Amino acid sequence: MEGYCVKCKAKKDIKDAKEVVMKNGRKAMKGSCPSCGTGMFRILGKA
């Protein structure tokens, strides 16, 4: 899964990506940046 790292300012593959469900019921992927280790988050569809 690819996400955007705000620290590196580039799109990268999310390391240790896990699917989570947010409070509003939407799914998201949560992990960390492979280069700098900053937390990355990508919101997925409603399903």
Question: For residue range 6-28, what is the model confidence (pLDDT) as tens digits?
Answer: 999 999 999 999 999 999 999 99
Q: CA 26, CA 15: separation in Å to the nearest integer? A: 21
As a whole number of angstroms, the distance between CA 13 and CA 25 comes to 24
pLDDT of residue 47 exceeding 90, the answer is no
Only one residue has tokens 């700098």, namely 36
Edge-to-edge strand ranges of the sheet holding 15-21: 15-21, 27-32, 39-43
Task: Quickly count: other Cβ atoms within 10 Å of residue 10's Cβ.
Answer: 10
Q: Has residue 46 got a pLDDT over 80?
A: no
Any idea where the domains of the chain sit in the sequence? 2-43
